[in-house]
Amino acid sequence: MSQRKFKKCLITGVGGSGGSYLAEHIYKKKLGIKIYGTYRSKGYILKLKKNCKKINFFKVDLRNFDKLKKCLNNIKPDLIFHLASNADVRGSFDNPVEHASNNNMITVNLLEAVRQLNFKPLIIICSTSEVYGNVEKKDMPITEKHSIAAINPYAATKVYQDLISQIYNKSFDLKIIITRMFSYTNPRRFNLFQTAFAKQIVDVENGKKKTLLHGNLNSIRTFVDIDDAMEAYWLTATKGRIGEIYNICGKKVISVRQYLNELIKLSKSKIYTKLDKKLLRPQDVNLQIASCKKFINHTKWKPKIKFKDSVQKLLNELRQNK
């Protein structure tokens, strides 16, 4: 299949952690693509305006269907990455209604607005491995054929997102591809355990904190670096097959405890740790060993950044932003 080319790319949730990284990633490619982004809160908008001066920003609450439709009609993108979301697994247990009402509405609004307009962009639905829930060890590795069985409110909203997107693809002929991202390093998303650990280590180094607090350390995950993850999103758009669902994951399988130990090895200070029961989830995914063979076969994507380099990069970025 020939590689797709695009003229106008829209990123929903561009002010968020993933959206801002993706905008920077595409901008740095210098492909001549016009990049647009919607945001509800500023987040990393100021950082993007400084580093990527030609990105066009639109403050739009995607829950407002009319404003969203007007925005889409003005831009007429031929590519949309849908990253806007309340993405907080632990927080979703505290505010399940807020997560459901927001995440479900903004997705169906986006799809319906595109359906009503007279252009058909490629839509990349950026979902999560959390939709698989707890998979038995005997059934590993997790492939796209595994059933979805969310065990937290955030994941449940992503199950809805996946299913409604498949319906709009098959029933209304929208051009949609779904990605399910497994664990990745993201220095801008502080509700991820790896970022929370790194931030606390930097705080200890700077004398702002004495003890690193943690939740469940026994969960086993499959990791990929943020830059490799963003390139995977881009290759989904240029080489992925319409109507497909793709797992995206790295090669490194490691427990949360081992990840923390890798960070501690790189610390400039002695790190003391303590369990904080408030950080434990009512339910947790205990084992995620993933396969993304289909994605690699279809796109020829290969993670380039080594795990230890990724951990060091995470810590370095948070040190710079202390």
β-strand partners of 180: 127, 247
274: exposed, middle or buried (Cβ count in 10 Å: 0-12, 13-18, 19+): exposed
The tens digit of pLDDT for each residue in 161-196 reads: 999 999 999 999 999 999 999 999 999 999 899 999
Distance of alpha carbon 129 from alpha carbon 200, whole angstroms: 26
Beta carbons of 318 and 198 less than 8 angstroms apart: yes
Mean pLDDT for all residues in the chain = 95
8-186+224-248 under CATH 3.40.50.720, yes or no: yes
Distance of alpha carbon 318 from alpha carbon 199, whole angstroms: 6
Share of the chain above pLDDT 90, in %: 89
The predicted pLDDT at position 256 comes to: 96
Q: What is the pTM of this model?
A: 0.95
| 124: its two tokens | 């990349």
The predicted pLDDT at position 118 comes to: 85
Distance of alpha carbon 90 from alpha carbon 32, whole angstroms: 39
Place of tokens 């595994």: 146
| 265: its two tokens | 């090895």
Residue 246 has pLDDT above 80, yes or no: yes
The predicted pLDDT at position 275 comes to: 96
Residue 1 has pLDDT above 80, yes or no: no
Distance of alpha carbon 310 from alpha carbon 252, whole angstroms: 11
Under the banding of pLDDT at 50, 70 and 90, the label for residue 322 is: low
Q: What is the mean pLDDT of residues 263-291?
A: 93
